[in-house]
Structure 1
């Protein structure tokens, strides 16, 4: 596995993988009518790219509009024949674009520009501003399902700061629908430049993706990620294996069996999973290939089980089976190097956390692709890395995330974003 040891910045993983012609600044410019999942998609893509080590920032133009003009504009502000409103909206879009380009000048790599950008004139303005400064890819989200649109509209009313001071829900709903009509009248689908179109991606059967003039490593990874994402809500349950014999002795790595306490947890975990997922039509149980995770999941029945080698614990190399006290005594330099930088430190003949993140990327993509619940029974370093993806934790924090034994972390995936619950079973 290529080395990531000694990298000097959180973007080390990305820099290692990008070729010289592709190491460039990239703007992902969202396009779409309101309530089509743009912000949801922008936030998810930002989280994914950050997790891989790319310096990525989400620029939401709606926030700029509210800062400049307040939160009280009604639907008339968004009319296509309201030149004053058009000029005001273009002004804040230009402000956001200026900020994004300035951020790139300071070292930022990928800017995710979140707005409707629903006319060719607006998109031409953004392309002109970006010319010679960054590559631009338009990402258009299209939804034709009335039920999904209605659900998104109602969520928007409850969550948007635009309606935080509007106590009358029905009045807010009527105003937002009028805003949507105004945008629809002027909407021009993307057919220029480099673009990705996501069409009805909430539907497994009808979802489509169209791609035009996309090339390069990073744009290719973005397409691959997006084609596997959707809006279907479902829970993902993360848990460490039950206590192992190595846990009792403070040893790392290895392939030990469970302790008596670990066996009890395996029974309690099965009971919890059966109760929590009994109403689900389907679900799956994922473990590593190591005994302690397989044994922890052994009492869970009625669901397919998949063993992932990618979920195996971080490879401790020549330190496998040792305690940290033994490492400190026999390899003080290694012990100190790990203490100074746990993210980038690689065990001799083993792995670093950055290496773990790279091998977990297929797991993340598959978790995003799944439309049914998934229970992941894995190891501390693995779950720290997965949890950091879902919660958008900075890379440097990953090795220090608390991941207690005998605890289930439920991640709820869906349009409202990522929500978390914890259940301590022992």
Structure 2
């Protein structure tokens, strides 16, 4: 019969009882165990010390250092079988062992891991970073599409919310942001299709949106699904990357119908974007704006507002906000934007494109403000026609910088007076004076252009992100020298390929500069202060294409001439642009007629 004893290494091996008895005296001299403390064993010079087992280490760290005596250990205790959590012959009550996370998801697995039903498009590769011009997914050459720059991820953003909550405004801002980053994005409006197909059949007044009228409800559902089909065809067959479906989508039944249809297609991400407005003053301002929209062309302003209020009441009666039911849909992502960015709630955001949308919405700002753009004053490289470089300003360039600071200072004071008057007229007694930022690149000519702004009044900063396009080994060349010495590259540049990267150390493409400027754009969206950006030619072109919502193809052709000043006044309702030319003889800025 075999018994269990501890050998001299204390590892609990099985040995013959005779051997145990014969060696017990020797072992007792070598190792003595306290009932409370484990004493270290002296090293055997003939053998290397053995690493303690994982189980022994866990016991020591957990404070279980009581070593059992030989006679207290039973053979059954050393069985390799793991202990049972419950009787296998008896049906386990998993609700008692592991509380259910959500009943509609089918409960939960051990350790609380949520289970979901498998959708038809369930097998997907995880979405990772995809940046046009900087990353390219590896796939077959015939699948590559230059219009999408190798972007494999595709996304459908479904807007949700009652009228006048700002969802269309948020959606249009997202479309502009994505397109500026060179993701092919398009806005699909159910309202446009309704006016196109329904205006000749039905009145577009408030009764058209009555949920109890089954005929009209069916027609509105047909319009929504037909618009969705157009979106999907564009995404799957026409180089689309992101499609935004603009509709109220006010009930769970409608949203589930849209979700099921999108789920039939492979490799399409789904994100619901719900806009909620709890600020009554903001909501009433949105109502006034929407009453001037295309639904009320030819209406009296007061009549249009009354009809819109009736429409909103119909929607509020049946509106169902996004809740736990949507959370139970596999792979569905959603974002709740409250009061146009004051508060943002997210659920299950996992894709790169959706992450970009959340990042942008966290920085939404509807405050009215001015953004000024100008190029650095004239430099020696400008006169010579050299690209890049870091030359100082000429005398004319210094004069421009001095007069620029004086002109912007006058405009800052006029802006503050105008804002104070508007607040007093609207009976808003509280008024906080906003700051004014002046940003420039770190190039010498840009820094010298900002030198006359008083740092006690303006927050003057140098930013490397605003540096001009790096021409690599071609820095400092004139266009003539470029064409003569590098004819092949010059021909490529003439084709206006924004993805072309200049050769040499540090060389960049237009797309490189676009993504370098992404933090600048987000900061401009977030900031409520007025900003003057002193940027070089390529950088100013790229910034203007964003704020003026130019097409991506116009990014190279848009130009801000030397010694001109561009002002963009934007709020949630409109964008007003002003252009000023500098008169060097009169030392003044003259506004160009619109």
Range class of TM-score, shorter chain: over 0.9
SS at 2:304 equivalent: helix
Displacement, 1:272? 2.1
Runs of 4+ in 1 over 3 A off after TM superposition: 1-8
Give the CA deviation at 1:419: 3.1
**Contact 2:363 2:525 survives alignment (8 Å):** yes
Given that 1:239 and 1:377 are in contact with CA atoms closer than 8 Å, whether structure 2 keeps it comes out as: yes
In 2, Cα distance between equivalents of 1:174 and 1:190: 28
Structure 2: which 5+ runs fail to align?
1-130, 137-143, 327-331, 417-432, 584-594
Q: CA deviation at 1:338?
A: 1.3
State the Cα distance separating 1:300 from its structure 2 match.
Answer: 2.1
1:279-336 per-residue CA deviation (whole Å, 9 max, x = no partner) reads 1531211111111111112222211012110100000111111101011111212212
Aligned partners of 2:170 and 2:340 also within 8 Å: no
Map of 2:315 onto structure 1 = 183
Please point out which of 115, 133, 136 is paired with 2:270: 136
1:45 to 170, 174, 177: 174
Q: Could you say which residue in structure 2 is the equivalent of 1:291?
A: 444
Does 2:578 align with 1:421?
Answer: yes
Q: CA deviation at 1:339?
A: 1.3
Q: Aligned pairs, how many?
A: 412
C-alpha contact (below 8 Å) 2:499/2:510 kept by paired residues: yes
Aligned partners of 1:90, 1:410: CA distance in 2, in Å?
Answer: 43
Pair 1:239 & 2:374 matched? yes
State the distance in 2 between where 1:2 and 1:70 align.
40
1:397 is matched with 554
CA distance in 1, matches of 2:563, 2:291: 39
Inter-partner Cα distance in structure 2 for 1:105 and 1:251: 45
Report matched runs for 1:41-190 at 5 Å. Answer: 41-70=170-199, 72-106=203-237, 107-133=239-265, 134-158=268-292, 160-166=293-299, 168-190=300-322
Deviation at residue 423 of structure 1 after TM alignment: 1.4
Which deviates further from its counterpart, 368-377 or 74-83? 74-83
Q: Is the 8 A contact 2:453 2:460 kept in 1?
A: no
Structure 2 Cα separation of the partners of residues 421 and 131 of structure 1: 46
Aligned-residue offset at 1:131: 1.4
Contact 2:132–2:183 (CA under 8 A) maintained in structure 1: no
The question of 1:345 aligning with 2:482 is answered no
Higher RCO (C-alpha under 8 Å, 6+ residues apart): 1
**8 Å contact kept, 1:412–1:419:** yes
**Superimposed CA distance per residue, residues 64-104 of structure 1 (whole angstroms, 9 cap, x where no aligned partner):** 11001118411111123222222221111111101001111
Q: Secondary structure at the match of 2:245?
A: strand
Q: Which moved more, 1:386-395 or 1:237-246?
A: 386-395
**Of 51-60 and 269-278, the range deviating more from structure 2:** 269-278
Cα offset for 1:28?
A: 0.4
Using the size of structure 2 for normalisation, the TM-score is 0.67
Contact 1:10/1:396, CA 8 A, preserved across alignment: no
CA distance in 1, matches of 2:242, 2:166: 20
1:202-217 superposed matches below 5 A: 207-217=342-352
Of stretches 192-201 and 355-364 in structure 1, the one that deviates more from structure 2 is 192-201
- Secondary structure in structure 2 of the residue aligned to 1:425: strand
- In structure 1, stretches of 5+ residues that fail to align are none
TM-score normalised by L of structure 1: 0.92
Q: How many angstroms does 1:267 deviate by?
A: 2.0
Q: Which one has the bigger helix percentage?
A: 1
CA distance in 2, matches of 1:112, 1:330: 47
Asked if 1 retains the 8 angstrom alpha-carbon contact of 2:540 and 2:559, the reply is: no
2:524 matched to 1:367?
A: yes
CA drift of 1:244 comes to 1.4
Which among 326, 338, 342 is matched to residue 199 of structure 1?
A: 338
Larger CA deviation: 273-282 vs 382-391: 273-282
| TM-superposition CA deviations, 1:181-240 (whole Å, max 9, x none) | 1111111111213200111235xxxx2111111102111111111111122221211111
Determine the structure 2 residue equivalent to 1:320.
475
Contact 1:256 1:292 in 2 (8 A): yes
Q: Deviation of residue 342 (structure 1)? A: 4.1
- Equivalent in the alignment of 2:400: 265
How well do the aligned residues superpose, as a CA RMSD in angstroms? 2.0
